[in-house]
Amino acid sequence: MNHATFKTSLLISTLLLGLSGCKLDKLTATEPAHPWVVVDRYKIDNLINTAIKKNNPYPAEIGDDEELMRQRMELQRIQSQAESVARSKCTPEINRSTSSTLSLDENAGQASMQKYRDMQLCMQQANNDPLVMQMREKMMALNKLSEKKSRFDMDLRTISKNAMDKVMEAFAKEKGYRLILSKNNDSILFNADMQILDVTDELANYIDQHPIPKDPQ
């Protein structure tokens, strides 16, 4: 090989190497080493939910779960005591009314029926005791707060889901990932192509053509 031929070959090799280097740099910048990746879904969910709750605090009148539970237990305790006190008055009153309205020669069946009717009337009056009614109204108001909190929690879950989708899409586009899977349950968190090719039948045919060994190693 003469000197001119050697220089020409060297020049071509240098140009090809430069072009290859440019192409490699371009691929490295636009295509990740792993076109699909996995993430810990539970960890990311926790981060997003914490941020969403911080940005969307509960209304002041709702309070937190512990406070609602404490109020509910206190109301139930007071209501139960008020009902017990109101109903405890029934037995003496019924005994007095029965002895005054029924003579000694009346049979036990009539006395039992009268006692039952008096008991029903007394229980109805006990349920309408002012303190019992007050506690019942407070419990209804507390239940409405609980329902409002449940609706608020449902809205937060919707916001968190939307945030998860947007974060996954933005992250994947920035990093160049085509597919993001959850390593906790294999669910798809992001799919750039928005296409899923079901090859179950094709795989079944493959298995038919390639029988499974008795003891695969």
Give a yes or no: residue 20 inside a domain. no
Per-residue pLDDT at 23: 37
Coil/strand/helix, residue 37: strand
Instruction: Read off the pLDDT of each residue in 184-193 and give the average, rounded to a whole number.
Output: 84
Give a yes or no: residue 12 inside a domain. no
Give a yes or no: residue 126 inside a domain. yes
Give a yes or no: residue 7 inside a domain. no
Whether the full predicted model's pTM is greater than 0.75, yes or no, is: no
Q: Count CB neighbours of 172 within 10 A.
A: 20
Coil/strand/helix, residue 186: coil
Whether the per-residue pLDDT at 81 is higher than 80: the answer is yes
Per-residue pLDDT at 7: 39
pLDDT tens-place string over residues 129-155: 888 888 889 889 989 988 999 999 999
Give a yes or no: residue 184 inside a domain. yes
Number of domains in the chain: 1
Give a yes or no: residue 131 inside a domain. yes
Beta carbons within 8 Å of 32's beta carbon, 6+ residues apart:
175, 176, 177
Contact (CB, 8 A) for 47 and 171: no
Confidence at 16, pLDDT banded by 50, 70, 90: very low
Give a yes or no: residue 137 inside a domain. yes
Residue 138 domain boundaries: 28-209
Confidence at 84, pLDDT banded by 50, 70, 90: confident
Per-residue pLDDT at 31: 54
Give a yes or no: residue 2 inside a domain. no
Angle between helices 65-88 and 108-127 (to 10 degrees): 140
Per-residue pLDDT at 18: 42
Instruction: Read off the pLDDT of each residue in 96-111 and give the average, rounded to a whole number.
Output: 53
